[in-house]
């Protein structure tokens, strides 16, 4: 298997055709067909889930912490404007420049303008999902600014010209051979050397010169603390602290929902974040930026991009509590078998199913259906987001907006009619040997026989329960159908 793993071609993500609905299933099927990749991916993420469970069992107050985290976030969202103003006030007092961006475009422009004002031509960057959401890197590159990702996984994906497939482990879908191929092509690494230590070391060596020479550095932010006006960044590689502290200009881009009221609340989230994400007690670095360093300048760009609108949708507002730990992806049985790139969206997995249609209901209309509604995601979520309920709510919302696929619409309409009419229903069943065409309706009621492709069909029994009951309990009477 290991041999196969290293031979197999890397499956690529969903085919994106403008705003055309992303076909997640098509990409998932290709991922599953790459059996070795799929198995590695599934096992690795399941391993993260198991490590997370072990951390949970080591903390007696685990469920209490989750409830606190959820309550703190709910409270904060209910007073979001006040806390943002408090943050701004304190950050400015400490010498941080605070900017407000209502959407992706404005955020990109603000950042571009700051860089231009400093004549910055090169930027080192640590991982930021918001940056991905806004399409920041392509924007800056068009503006003539060289951007280098400094997180290993993110760097691999940048060099391979592929989006991150997971919010915490961006290259989790790649094997060491896949990475080696990318590094040979782009970083002049030794061909055929797929030793992981070598590859990581090679990335360190080739990135260091960029870190030392960059004109500006950029990080995301995991938390904003209103009380102190500080930004908190959680990373493992040390790259965020290097990006922030080496050049004299540090820009932070962060979503407005990342705010928490006080330092005492930070403890709750830090205790949960890395335990949920990677099953480690804490990230290697949990860094706190309360003002510019000596001789430096610090900017924070507060980005809305749909968040304040989501706040007004009671069903979907809880999605704003997300701390981007990725635990819901690790536990999601569909995500583990589909790969994050199959979703064709910045946010994949359960959190992606509920965030993406908020950005574009047409393009992402298939995503809420890439779930069995099993609910494991909501159970691992450290801020107790009701993920599976929101996934279901999105299906309803999409149906209302006329965004169901034709086959779903037709089948559900027919079923709804049939199930509401006992006579017609019994007649349909009593069509003897044709039973499989109708029952269970939702299973075989489609021309492709999707059930039977990889599964045996159940043998149809001679009699329904209904007719058995009639014969044995009612002397053959009961209904007239």
Partner 1 sequence: MSSREEILNRIRQHQTNISTSLPKVPNFFDKSVDIIDAFKKSLLIMGGTLLLVGDADPLQALKEKIKNANVICSMVPEIKGNRELNEQNLPKELDDIDYAIVRASFGVAETGSICLTEKNLMINTLGYLPQHLIVLLDPAKIVYNLHDAYAQPEWYSVNYASLHSGPSATADIEGVLIRGAQGVRSLSVLLIS
Partner 2 sequence: MEVGLFIPCYMDAMEPEVGISTLKLLERFNVKVVYPFDQTCCGQPMTNTGCEKEASATEALFVKNFAKFDYIVMPSGSCTNQVRHNMNAIEQTDEVTHVRTHSYDLVEFLHDILKVEAFPWANFPHKVAIHYNCNALRGLRHASMSERREAFFSKPKNLLEKIKGIEFVELQRPDECCGFGGTFSVFEEGVSAKMGRDKVLDQRNSGAEFVISADSSCLMHQKGCAQRMGIPLRYAHIAQVLNGDIR
Judged by CB under 6 A, the chain residues 384 through 403 that form the site for ligand SF4 are 385, 387
Interface stretch with ligand SF4, choices 170-178, 233-241, 374-382, 454-462 (CB under 6 A): 374-382
Q: How far apart are CA 118 and CA 394, in angstroms?
A: 44
Q: What is the H or E stretch that residue 104 is in?
A: helix 104-117
From the CB of 470, what's the least distance to ligand SF4, in Å?
A: 49
Helix pair angle (62-78, 80-93), 10° resolution: 90
410 binds, among partner 2, partner 1, ligand SF4, none (CB under 5 to 8 A by kind): none
Decide if 383 contacts 66 (C-beta within 8 A): yes
Handedness of CA 74, 77, 80, 83 (dihedral sign): positive
Q: What is the DSSP letter of 130?
A: H
Residue number with CB closer to partner 2 (213 or 372)? 372
Closer of 231 and 351 to ligand SF4 (Cβ): 351
For the chain, the helix, strand and coil percentages under 3-state DSSP, each to the nearest 5: 55, 10, 35
Work out what residue 212 binds among partner 1, partner 2, ligand SF4, none; the CB cut-off runs from 5 to 8 Å by kind. Answer: partner 1
| 373 is an interface residue for partner 2 by CB under 8 A | yes
Which lies closer to partner 1 via its Cβ, residue 38 or residue 304?
Answer: 304
295: left (phi over 0), alpha (psi -120 to 50) or beta: left
Long-range CB pairs of 181-185 (<8 Å, 24+ gap) are 182/156, 183/156, 183/159, 185/159
Q: Does 21 bind partner 2 (CB under 8 A)?
A: no
Do the bridges between strand 216-219 and strand 122-125 make them parallel or antiparallel, or are there none, so unpaired? parallel
Can you read off the two tokens belonging to residue 19?
A: 């705003």
Q: How far apart are CA 143 and CA 109, in angstroms?
A: 10
For 234, the enclosing helix (H) or strand (E) is: strand 230-235
Is there a contact between 372 and 334 (Cβ–Cβ < 8 Å)? Answer: yes
Residue 144 makes contact with partner 2 by CB under 8 A: no
462: how many CB neighbours lie within 10 A of its CB? 9
The entry of ligand SF4, partner 2, partner 1, none that residue 246 binds, CB within 5 to 8 Å by partner kind: partner 1
Question: Which residues contact residue 120 at a Cβ distance below 8 angstroms, ignoring those fewer than 6 apart?
Answer: 145, 215, 216, 247, 249
Q: Which does 241 bind (CB under 5 to 8 A by kind): partner 1, partner 2, ligand SF4, none?
A: partner 1
Task: Please identify, using beta-carbon distances, which residue of 125 and 324 lies nearer to ligand SF4.
Answer: 324
What is the closest distance, in whole angstroms, from the C-beta atom of residue 103 to partner 1 in the complex?
A: 9
Please say which residue, 298 or 387, places its beta carbon nearer to ligand SF4.
387
Q: Using the rule CB under 8 A, which residue among 5, 46, 71, 206 binds partner 2?
A: 46
Out of ligand SF4, partner 1, partner 2, none, what residue 333 binds, judged by CB under 5 to 8 A for its kind, is partner 2
Residue entry with tokens 């309706």: 441
Binding letters toward partner 2, positions 215-254, x by CB under 8 A: ----------------------------------------
Q: What whole-number distance in Å separates Cα of residue 63 and Cα of residue 388?
A: 19
Q: Binder to partner 1 among 29, 206, 280, 467 (CB under 8 A)?
A: 280
Cα separation, 481 vs 370, in Å, equals 38
Residue 326 contact among ligand SF4, partner 1, partner 2, none, beta carbon within 5 to 8 Å by kind: ligand SF4
Q: Please give the residues from 188 up to 207 whose contact with partner 1 meets the rule CB under 8 A.
A: 196-197, 199-200, 204, 207
Select from ligand SF4, partner 1, partner 2, none the partner in contact with residue 324, using the beta carbon and a kind-dependent cut-off of 5 to 8 Å. ligand SF4
Q: Contact region for partner 1 (CB under 8 A) — 129-137, 264-272, 389-397, 464-472?
A: 264-272
120, 232, 234, 327: residue in contact with ligand SF4 (rule CB under 6 A): 327
Contact between 431 and partner 1 (CB under 8 A)?
no
267 binds partner 1 (CB under 8 A): yes
- Ranges within 402-461 binding partner 2 (CB under 8 A): 404, 407-409, 412-413, 415-422, 425, 429, 435, 439-444, 446, 450-451, 453-458, 460-461
Q: Which does 386 bind (CB under 5 to 8 A by kind): partner 2, ligand SF4, partner 1, none?
A: none
**Segment 282 to 301, residues that bind ligand SF4, using CB under 6 A:** none
CA 365 to chain centre: 16
Nearer to partner 1, 249 or 367 (CB): 249
CB 235 within 8 A of CB 151: yes
Structural tokens at position 407: 């086959």
**Residue 274: which residues within 8 A CB-CB, separation 6 or more?**
234, 280, 281, 282, 283, 325
Q: Which residue, 213, 207, 165, is CA-closest to 183? A: 207
What's the CA gap between 423 and 347, in Å, rounded?
Answer: 46
- 171 contributes a contact to partner 1 by CB under 8 A: yes
Which of partner 2, partner 1, ligand SF4, none does residue 285 bind to, with CB < 5 to 8 Å depending on kind?
partner 1
| Minimal distance, residue 39 CB to partner 2, in Å | 9
473 binds partner 2, rule: CB under 8 A: yes
Among 13, 220, 292, 319, binds partner 1 (CB under 8 A): 292
- 379: partner contacted, choices partner 2, partner 1, ligand SF4, none (Cβ within 5-8 A by kind): partner 2
Alpha-carbon radius of gyration of the chain: 26
Measured CA to CA in angstroms, residue 250 lies from 87, 137, 139, 236 at distances of 18, 16, 18, 19
């Amino acid at each position: 298997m290991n041999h196969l793993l290293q031979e197999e071609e890397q499956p690529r993500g969903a085919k994106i055709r403008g705003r055309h609905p992303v076909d997640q299933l098509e990409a998932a099927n290709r991922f599953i067909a790459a059996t070795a990749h799929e198995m590695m991916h599934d096992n690795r993420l399941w391993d993260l889930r198991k490590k997370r469970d072990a951390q949970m069992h080591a903390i007696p107050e685990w469920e209490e912490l989750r409830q606190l985290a959820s309550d703190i976030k709910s409270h904060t969202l209910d007073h979001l404007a006040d806390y943002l103003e408090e943050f701004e006030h304190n950050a400015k007092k400490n010498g941080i420049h605070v900017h407000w961006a209502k959407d992706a475009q404005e955020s990109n422009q603000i950042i571009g303008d700051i860089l231009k004002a400093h004549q910055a031509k090169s930027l080192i960057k640590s991982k930021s999902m918001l940056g991905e959401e806004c399409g920041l890197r392509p924007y800056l590159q068009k503006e003539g600014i060289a951007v280098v990702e400094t997180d290993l996984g993110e760097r691999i994906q940048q060099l391979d010209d592929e989006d991150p497939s997971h919010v915490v482990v961006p290259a989790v879908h790649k094997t060491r051979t896949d990475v080696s191929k990318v590094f040979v092509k782009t970083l002049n690494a030794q061909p055929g050397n797929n030793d992981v230590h070598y590859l990581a070391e090679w990335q360190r060596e080739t990135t260091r010169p960029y870190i030392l020479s960059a004109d500006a550095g950029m990080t995301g932010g995991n938390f904003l603390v209103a009380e102190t006006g500080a930004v908190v960044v959680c990373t493992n590689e040390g790259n965020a602290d290097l990006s922030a502290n080496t050049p004299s200009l540090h820009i932070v881009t962060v979503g407005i929902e990342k705010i928490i009221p006080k330092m005492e609340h930070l403890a709750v989230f830090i205790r949960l974040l890395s335990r949920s994400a990677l099953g480690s007690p804490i990230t290697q670095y949990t860094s706190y930026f309360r003002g510019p360093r000596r001789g430096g300048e610090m900017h924070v760009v507060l980005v809305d991009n749909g968040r304040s609108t989501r706040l007004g949708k009671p069903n979907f507002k809880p999605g704003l509590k997300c701390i981007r730990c990725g635990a819901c992806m690790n536990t999601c049985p569909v995500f583990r078998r589909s790969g994050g790139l199959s979703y064709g969206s910045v946010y994949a997995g359960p959190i992606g199913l509920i965030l993406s249609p908020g950005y574009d209901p047409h393009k992402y209309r298939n995503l809420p259906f890439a779930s069995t509604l099993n609910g494991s995601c909501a159970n691992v979520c450290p801020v107790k987001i009701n993920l599976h309920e929101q996934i279901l709510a999105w299906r309803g919302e999409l149906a209302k907006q006329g965004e169901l696929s034709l086959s779903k619409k037709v089948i559900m309409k027919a079923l709804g009619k049939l199930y509401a009419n006992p006579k017609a229903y019994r007649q349909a069943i009593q069509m003897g040997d044709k039973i499989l065409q109708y029952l269970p309706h939702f299973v075989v009621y489609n021309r492709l026989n999707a059930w039977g492709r990889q599964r045996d069909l159940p043998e149809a029994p001679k009699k329904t329960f209904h007719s058995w009951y009639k014969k044995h309990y009612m002397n053959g009477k009961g209904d007239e159908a």
